Amino acid sequence: MKITVLNGSPKGENSVTLQYIEYLKKRNSDDTFVIFHVGQKIRQYKRPEVMDECMNAIVQTDLILFTYPVYTALAPYQLTKFIELVKKHPDAVKLTGKFVSQLTTSLHFYDYTAHRYIAENSQDLKMKVLEGHSAEMDDMLAAKGQKQLSDFYSRIKFAIKNNISAYTFGNRPLKSDFIFKGDTVPTNTRDSTKDANTVIITDCEPDNFSLKNMIDEFIRIYPRPVRVINIGEFHFAGGCMGCFQCATTGDCVYKDGFQDMLRNEIQNKHAMIFAFSIKDHSMGPVFKIYDDRQFCNGHRTLVRGVYSAYIVHGALKEERNLIDVIESRAELSESYIAGIACDESCSEEATAESIKNLSLSIDFALSEKWEKSQNFFGVGGMKIFRDLIYVMRGLMRLDHKFYKKHGIYDFPHRQKRVIIKMYFLGLLMSIPAVRKKAEKKMTAALLKPYKKVI
């Protein structure tokens, strides 16, 4: 596979982000990586002949990979300028159908808005957008970060091989219901039982034929046992009252059986698929009560490592806020999204393709047991919860116990050695002569541990 890397860092080869690419290069010698330091050399790319050379390489590649550090919630200015040049270039039309992804390093502060910026511009160019990799700067120095990086690359290759992009949207009017022909993918021959490790959670009503047929088509082609739980048929005794009893004792004040169903039929599965129709810019009132009644799950990552996916009827692409809600739910719980199938304004063939891709993606995630790094939604949200639970630990005792057990209380003021080291370093750097000498060696010292890992 040929990968064109568009390095948006102003530091060029001395970029920490680029070290992640060097790591992948070292371990994937059969693939060809061509790197353009567009961030560092942006002035040169304003010259037509230089830009022409880069565009010629881009249009002949299998994957375009943007790499950059996140700057103020977006890509660095240099990369945004380069994207502007790409969109104005005569050969921009040749990027239609090209696969594109991105790899960033940051402190996870609004990394998702940066990723969204690249994705939206790529969609403007009619490229096939693949999920990116959002890493903290030091992730690659630990075994977990290395696995997540390798898993990201394997997912990218899998998606390209199977022609799967992040979303599958068509451009034909939405019909009232779909009847899939079922002649392109073998039918699921495994029994769907209550012991299935994949569960579909839905509020599908009897007359919602579009959603029902999408669910049926998924079950038909999915190669694993699956169980459907219709929460629309569950008799909720009432909505959450915010009484905090579940945070104190672990039990809900209602005795309608919801807690048992949640623990024994949903949270103990390996994959959860949420199937719904968009209602009033949300998943609808049934899913709202379902979410509210598992109040404590918003604080405790009880489904950590479980894969989630979505089957959606409606114009999801227009619901930016709902997409944020879906993503933040997964990131906060570390329940990674394996895929989304949607029937937005598309033909039956495109909808069937979307569901087939979802089936492939979930099966791949379960087979490979891949891990994904959290972005700003997960990292930032848990730090907010961390501070909240610590202050309220006297009341929210089970949450406090959970946070202590899983090491979530990672307060910066406890990193005394680092703080003292930074004070000492700051004193040294305040001396002009020392600072002048240190500046020459700082880049090499910063990159040294990354080079060792590579």
Predicted pLDDT at 169: 43
Joined together, the tokens standing for residue 326 give: 């879906």
Considering only CA atoms, which of 134, 14, 23 is closest in space to residue 75? 134
Contacting residues for 315 by C-beta, under 8 A, at least 6 apart: 278, 344, 345
Other Cβ atoms within 10 Å of 105 Cβ, number: 25
Which of residues 47 and 336 earns the better pLDDT score? Answer: 47
Predicted pLDDT at 174: 46
- Minimum mean pLDDT range among 12-26, 54-68, 234-248, 409-423: 234-248
Considering only CA atoms, which of 288, 312, 290, 287 is closest in space to residue 208? 312
Predicted pLDDT at 179: 67
What length does the chain have? 454
Question: Long-range contact list for 246-249, CB < 8 A, 24+ apart?
Answer: 246/295, 246/296, 247/295, 247/296, 247/299, 247/395, 247/396, 247/397, 247/398, 247/399, 248/395, 248/396, 248/397, 248/398, 249/398
**Chain-wide mean pLDDT for the chain?**
88
**Within the chain, which residue ranges are assigned CATH 3.40.50.360?**
2-161, 198-378
265 secondary structure, DSSP code: I
Please provide residue 106's backbone torsions phi and psi, each rounded to the nearest 5 degrees. -170, -175
**Bridge pairing between strands 198-202 and 226-230:** parallel
- Whole-number Å distance between alpha carbons of 166 and 131: 6
User: pLDDT for 81-133, tens place per residue?
Assistant: 999 999 999 999 999 999 999 999 998 888 988 999 999 899 999 999 999 99
Which of residues 243 and 121 earns the better pLDDT score? Answer: 121
- Whole-number Å distance between alpha carbons of 131 and 102: 8
- Whole-number Å distance between alpha carbons of 144 and 155: 16
Inter-residue contact 279 to 312 (CB < 8 Å) = no
**Amino acid residing at 171:** N
Inter-residue contact 83 to 6 (CB < 8 Å) = no
Percentage helix, strand, coil for the chain under 3-state DSSP, each rounded to 5 = 50, 15, 35
Q: In CATH, what class is 198-378?
A: alpha beta
Predicted pLDDT at 166: 67
The CATH architecture assigned to 2-161 reads 3-Layer(aba) Sandwich (3.40)
Per-residue pLDDT averaged across 353-378, rounded? 91
pTM of the model: 0.81
Inter-residue contact 151 to 371 (CB < 8 Å) = yes
Highest mean pLDDT out of 2-6, 165-169, 312-316: 2-6
